[in-house]
Amino acid sequence: MPRVLLLAAAFVSLTFNAHAEGIKRVAPPGSNFPISQLITVPAGSQLTFVSGTLPDIADPNAAKGSIAALGNTETQTRSVLNKLRTTLQGQGLDLGDIVQLRVFLVGDPAHGGALDFAGLQAAYTEFFATATQPRTPTRTAIQVVALPLPGALVEIDAIAAKAP
C-alpha cells in the first residue's frame, strides 16, 4: 500500500508542476526565426481575442486613403503592433502574452505587388524576440487582395493568454 500512495503522490506532483509551468512555447527546431512553432496553453488560462487591427495615419498631409497616408508595410506593422500593445495593456496584458498572431498583408505596389515580408519582419522584431520582450507567438502571414481601410497594407488579429 505505501507504494501506491507514493506513486499517487508522484502523479499529483507531476500534474501540478505541469500546470505551474504555465504557457509552453516551442521554437522551430534548428531555427532562430522569431516565432514559436507551437504553444500550449494550460486549462484555466485567461484567453483574450483581439479583432483585426489596422494602422493609424502616419502622414496626415498625404492623400486620404493612400498608402502614403498610412506608410509602408514596416511603418504600418509598427503602428498596428503599438495599437495591439495599448489594447492589451488596457486588459492587464502585454505583447508577451500573445500566443497567436494572424497577419494579413496586401501586396505593396512598391514591391511589384508582392507582400513586403522584410518590412513586416523589420517592425515585428522590434516587439518580439527582443532582450526586453523575449516571448514569441505562433504566427501566420497571409497575402490578401485588399483590407477594409483604403491604403492599408497590414491588418493583424491576436490571441493572448495568461496562465492561472
Give every CB contact of residue 152 below 8 A, 6+ residues apart in sequence: 54, 55, 70, 76, 106
| Long-range contact pairs involving 20-24 (C-beta distance under 8 Å, separation at least 24) | 22/163, 23/99, 23/161, 23/163
pLDDT given at position 21: 57
Q: Cβ–Cβ contacts within 10 Å for residue 121, how many?
A: 16
Q: Cβ–Cβ contacts within 10 Å for residue 84, how many?
A: 22
- Whether the per-residue pLDDT at 10 is higher than 90: the answer is no
- Average pLDDT on 87-99 reads 98
Of the listed ranges 7-11, 31-35, 38-42, 115-119, the least confidently predicted one is 7-11
Q: DSSP state, 7? A: H
pLDDT digits (tens, 9 = 90+) for 40-62: 999 999 999 999 999 999 999 99
Pairwise pLDDT comparison (18 vs 35), residue with the higher score: 35
Spell out the domains of the chain, with CATH numbers in brackets: 2-162 (3.30.1330.40)
